[in-house]
Amino acid sequence: MSLDKILSISGKPGLYKVVAPTRSGFVVESLLDKKRLSVNAQSNVSLLSEIAVYTLNEELPLREVFKKIMDKEQGKPTSVNHKDDKLDLEAYFFEVLPEYDEDRVYASDIRKIVQWYNLLQQHDLLATLETAKEAESGAAE
């Protein structure tokens, strides 16, 4: 499953995978507790494939940020918890992405990224980053 099928819903914890479309939106399943719910088209949702992180030079897609975390952690969960102190999270994120824009990327954003990475890692959904990367490089050749 790619990041195109994983989304975040404003006001609801965790991540959700799209299960099926409906007339007025879609049905999603929580990665936290496997509960399904219907989300209407007016809900504030964000596909992970559409999210990017501000750096000093450009906006880096979240897929690339997850890849950098995965490389640093060798595919294991992060060494910091999303509930850790703000300074610890910022220091960790600086190790992962030294060029991130500290003025536009807040501690709450870093918390979400760390939490999302750990959720995806726990459900073995990070392997899609590898296959997507290989598909992109294969298409470029």
pLDDT (tens digit per residue) in 28-86 = 999 999 999 999 988 999 999 999 999 999 999 999 999 999 999 998 999 999 999 99
**What's the rounded Cα separation, in Å, for the pair 57 and 67?**
19
Looking at residue 41, its pLDDT comes to: 83
Record the pTM: 0.86
Of the pLDDT bands very low, low, confident and very high (cuts 50, 70, 90), residue 16 is very high
- Burial of 114 per CB tally in 10 Å (0-12, 13-18, 19+): buried
CATH label, 3-48, candidates 1.20.140.10, 2.30.30.730, 1.10.10.10, 1.10.645.10: 2.30.30.730
Overall average pLDDT of the 9-23 stretch? 93
**What's the rounded Cα separation, in Å, for the pair 109 and 119?**
15
- pLDDT surpassing 90 at residue 137: no
Residue 17: closest CA among 42, 4, 77: 4
Overall average pLDDT of the 13-37 stretch? 93
**What's the rounded Cα separation, in Å, for the pair 109 and 111?**
5
For CATH 1.10.10.1650, list the domain ranges present in the chain. 51-140
What SS3 class is residue 58?
coil
Tell which CATH architecture fits domain 51-140.
Orthogonal Bundle (1.10)
Q: Is the dihedral of CA 103, 109, 110, 113 positive or negative?
A: negative
- pLDDT surpassing 80 at residue 14: yes
List pLDDT tens digits, range 89-125: 999 999 999 999 999 999 999 999 999 999 999 999 8
For CATH 2.30.30.730, list the domain ranges present in the chain. 3-48
Residue 93: closest CA among 129, 126, 69, 62: 69
Residues recorded for the chain: 141
